[in-house]
Amino acid sequence: MERLDLELNAFTRRAGSVLVAHSETTLARGLEPGERVLVRDRGVGHRVATVRDISFDLTDTHYRLELGTAIADEDAALLTGEPQAAAAAVELSDVLALLHEARVLAAGRSYLAGALPN
């Protein structure tokens, strides 16, 4: 998902729509109608937006974005594929316990499906 860094004013946030010139973004490609993008509203947070209209003039392309739901920074990082902070260390014993639990669940399901129990 593409991300746009914008500074939205209070009126734009209330109206739920913003016009963005392609030349004012860091996009490597043009957006398509109906495409969903992530808008980082500087100092406020992230919102999902949808490209509702595209217009052209002699020098630029303009996108009308319909602003949607505000989302948490962690979710925004997942949507854009940005690396997350390192997860807490997981012990080998925890991994082995999860594998054992998965094996028990799989064996139970295969037994229910008509397989012979081990």
Phi (first) and psi of residue 50, to 5 degrees: -120, 135
Tracing tokens 């303009």 back to the chain, one arrives at 62
Which pTM value belongs to this model?
0.65
User: Please, what's the b/e burial string for 85-113 (b: 16 or more CB within 10 A of its CB; e: otherwise)?
Assistant: eeeeeeeeeeeeeeeeeeeeeeeeeeeee
From 76-80, 83-87, 94-98, 106-110, the region with the lowest mean pLDDT: 83-87
- Whether 109 has a pLDDT exceeding 90, the answer reads no
Give the mean pLDDT of the chain.
84
Contact 26, 71 (CB under 8 A): no
Could you tell me the pLDDT band of residue 94, with boundaries at 50, 70 and 90?
confident
Asked: is 3-85 a CATH 2.60.40 domain? The reply is no
For residue range 62-74, what is the model confidence (pLDDT) as tens digits? 999 999 988 888 8
Rg (CA), the chain: 23
The DSSP call for residue 23 is: G
In this prediction, residue 15 has a pLDDT band, given cuts at 50, 70 and 90, of: very high
4 forms beta bridges with 39
- C-alpha distances in Å from residue 64, one per residue of 76, 81, 95, 101: 21, 24, 48, 50
Q: What is the pLDDT of residues 20-69, one digit of tens each?
A: 999 999 999 999 999 999 999 887 899 999 999 999 999 999 999 999 98
Q: What is the pLDDT of residue 84?
A: 53
pLDDT reported for residue 82: 58
Neighbours of 59 (CB within 10 A): 7
